[in-house]
Structure 1
């Protein structure tokens, strides 16, 4: 699919305090926005791309939910089980937080080029990192210095994680494992001096998150726009017509028919079907995307709430499987690593315990997921959350499915749009 981007949204206030005070109502799209995609400014930064992607997902989410929920009006709140696109703005926002953390880390390193900091607090003060998360950032920074990292480098690496789930670091085992892993990344990073080596780690995170976010949006977001355009030309279509007439690059009608029949037969299975490489080995992930839209149409026409939700759930799994198995995986484990980066898989392994997903007033945390799993290495000196690697599909697929279930239990929460990302200096990230 040719990469496509979305149009710039309407201007927003540049007041950080105004953002904090924004209500959920003002944070919700009030009307459908025509023209979901157009060219992105050629010199857009990763933060600007993230902002536009998040807002593009919001538009797609509202348009797609209107298919499932005939009573829903874009800009409102749906109490029916949300579609995949309802989760996407929140996931994009989390990627944006990581990209923002990388931007802050760049600033710490830039400041250190002129004069190294005399202490960890000074390094964090230089970029305005304060507030309740400050103590956790200082603790992680100090732990990294015990492994030999310079103060500015340690503060920069800690700031990369400043918008993630820092509560995970309250477990000393997670704190020290995280510090140790970042120290290893630093030692093995390319670069002629400490600050250059730090930049290699920071830029790896920035690119990894940006590449993954753009890849998913281009793939699934592009398919969503393609479907909505097709639907606008033909009108509300029964599922059979979607399977026969709608396609996306790589999909096949015969495969779509097979997967659709499987979905109808197994939609009520517990747990919900998700291991599609085993369950549907002859069906491409691209065909699963087509089936997802057909299931949304079928859900619209289903009077039973239980059946409707079952169809939406398996449709979401089809889309998420394409998203995670096909679209984003190359961003985490590129075939040809860049010589100016550290291994992306190892960087994501270090960050895994801190991963979380905020959905309006509801939050899913990886530590909660890991706490309920078996102890992989059987060692008391390692926390369960540090035994996973988000870069590996097999490690992140089950927790992603669990995060969906949290969203299903709180369907209205997903319609509270993520607030604008704000730098420590109070500027919105769109004010580049």
Structure 2
């Protein structure tokens, strides 16, 4: 997609981000506020702008709308990850629209319900398979269809493994019967609301924290006089809730171990007791160090360490509290249960590099040794370690094809608007 000149990107992203900082998950549910998909569009566009600004610092040859052969940094991945979350919200919006229509006029058959959704091809067949399994558990046709369509914008091909199909139907059925609500569609709506809020709140939390820190860093850097060095970043750039002494510790360790194989990833063991936001300052210093690296190999090793630092902060302090909160609203089901049910279908297109959680799971040793359970159904995106190791798998897959991540996504639009 066409990207405006970098100065225009800076202004537009700054304006977008300034507006977004005032968003909260509560206000996002108000009628006058942006919908989750509208927020997602703003966030994805914001990440695209940051990706080019920061990428242009690491690789000065990178031009707006162009590509770089340098290893992707966290902010190169971010627009694609945001888009993937948006696809989950898109499925939720489709389900919500279907529920509203079915309340006015119930479907007379499963074929009619699928026709109403406008589904075709493999997606229709897989959603139909899942709907039939749910109907067999006692769900009405419309309830089963609305629940099944939550997979429609994800890796629905995973349902081709009968073991995954049966496990998913069992989990969705259990969520349905435990969901609050009087009517079947009320129960399904509670599940839809849970998914939509979880993805929306996570999208906002990560962008406000990680994207906000990047915006502050880029603004600080633009205003600074004289050469920018890693040392200056570690001593002069500050973030609320981050400690520069901790950032220095993490940076020093990363510079010494960036080329270790396998790459270190257990930040909890390396830096016990650290405030994880300090890793963001260390990451920006590592990206500056990468810019100055004597060889592409050294540059890429430093980028990967910085990216792991950012991802750790993202997943430990922003995503995890949203995915497994201490308490849930009374109109929701378990967020962890929803994420576990959808884990086999998770998918992100990093430009032209497609990552699926199913590919990751099938590449791992069989967890339970039971041939009757599919590997993707043995994991849960709500579990930090299941998520962390899947993300590292995605990073390594994309590192082999760095230029392809610069094919940026076209942000989604809300199907109900």
Q: TM-score range by the shorter chain?
A: over 0.9
Moved more, 378-387 or 205-214: 378-387
Tell me, yes or no, if the aligned pair for 1:117 and 1:152 is still in contact at 8 Å: yes
RMSD of aligned alpha carbons: 1.4
Q: How does 1:117-132 map to 2 (within 5 A)?
A: 117-132=107-122
Displacement of 1:59 in angstroms is 0.3
Q: How does 1:359-370 map to 2 (within 5 A)?
A: 359-370=350-361
Number of the residue aligned with 1:154 = 144
Secondary structure of the residue aligned to 1:329 is: helix
Number of the residue aligned with 1:56 = 46
Tell me, yes or no, if the aligned pair for 1:28 and 1:416 is still in contact at 8 Å: no
Show CA shifts across 1:333-378 (max 9, x none).
1112111100000110000011111112210111111112122222
Secondary structure of the residue aligned to 1:160 is: helix
Number of the residue aligned with 1:143 = 133
Secondary structure of the residue aligned to 1:403 is: helix
Supply the distance in 2 between the matched residues of 1:185 and 1:431 (Cα, whole angstroms). 26
Displacement of 1:321 in angstroms is 0.3
- For normalisation by structure 1, the TM-score amounts to 0.90
Displacement of 1:234 in angstroms is 0.6
Displacement of 1:331 in angstroms is 1.1
Tell me, yes or no, if the aligned pair for 2:93 and 2:416 is still in contact at 8 Å: no
Number of the residue aligned with 1:31 = 5
Secondary structure of the residue aligned to 1:363 is: strand
Tell me, yes or no, if the aligned pair for 2:45 and 2:411 is still in contact at 8 Å: no
Supply the distance in 2 between the matched residues of 1:241 and 1:430 (Cα, whole angstroms). 47
Show CA shifts across 1:110-169 (max 9, x none).
111122211222112213222442111111111111111111111111111101111111
Displacement of 1:74 in angstroms is 2.3
Displacement of 1:430 in angstroms is 7.9
Supply the distance in 1 between the matched residues of 2:40 and 2:157 (Cα, whole angstroms). 25
Number of the residue aligned with 1:377 = 368
Q: How does 1:9-408 map to 2 (within 5 A)?
A: 27-32=1-6, 33-35=9-11, 36=13, 37-40=17-20, 43-235=33-225, 236-408=227-399
Displacement of 1:181 in angstroms is 0.4
User: Aligned in 2, Cα 1:431/1:161: closer, same or farther, shift over 3 Å?
Assistant: closer
How many residues of Structure 1 are paired with residues of Structure 2 in the alignment? 400
Tell me, yes or no, if the aligned pair for 2:95 and 2:150 is still in contact at 8 Å: yes
Moved more, 337-346 or 141-150: 141-150
Show CA shifts across 1:19-53 (max 9, x none).
xxxxxxxx141422133223149610001000110
Moved more, 394-403 or 227-236: 227-236
Displacement of 1:419 in angstroms is 2.5
Supply the distance in 2 between the matched residues of 1:283 and 1:300 (Cα, whole angstroms). 26
Tell me, yes or no, if the aligned pair for 1:256 and 1:283 is still in contact at 8 Å: no
Displacement of 1:431 in angstroms is 7.8
Supply the distance in 1 between the matched residues of 2:341 and 2:415 (Cα, whole angstroms). 28
The structure in which a higher percent of residues are helix is: 2
Tell me, yes or no, if the aligned pair for 2:123 and 2:157 is still in contact at 8 Å: no
Tell me, yes or no, if the aligned pair for 2:91 and 2:150 is still in contact at 8 Å: yes
Supply the distance in 2 between the matched residues of 1:268 and 1:253 (Cα, whole angstroms). 24
Supply the distance in 1 between the matched residues of 2:221 and 2:339 (Cα, whole angstroms). 39
Number of the residue aligned with 2:28 = none
Number of the residue aligned with 2:414 = 429
Can you give the 5+ residue segments of structure 1 that lack an aligned partner in the other structure?
1-26, 422-427
Supply the distance in 1 between the matched residues of 2:331 and 2:279 (Cα, whole angstroms). 36
Tell me, yes or no, if the aligned pair for 2:97 and 2:416 is still in contact at 8 Å: no
User: Aligned in 2, Cα 1:242/1:430: closer, same or farther, shift over 3 Å?
Assistant: farther
Tell me, yes or no, if the aligned pair for 2:176 and 2:187 is still in contact at 8 Å: yes
Can you give the 5+ residue segments of structure 2 that lack an aligned partner in the other structure?
24-31
Secondary structure of the residue aligned to 2:242 is: coil
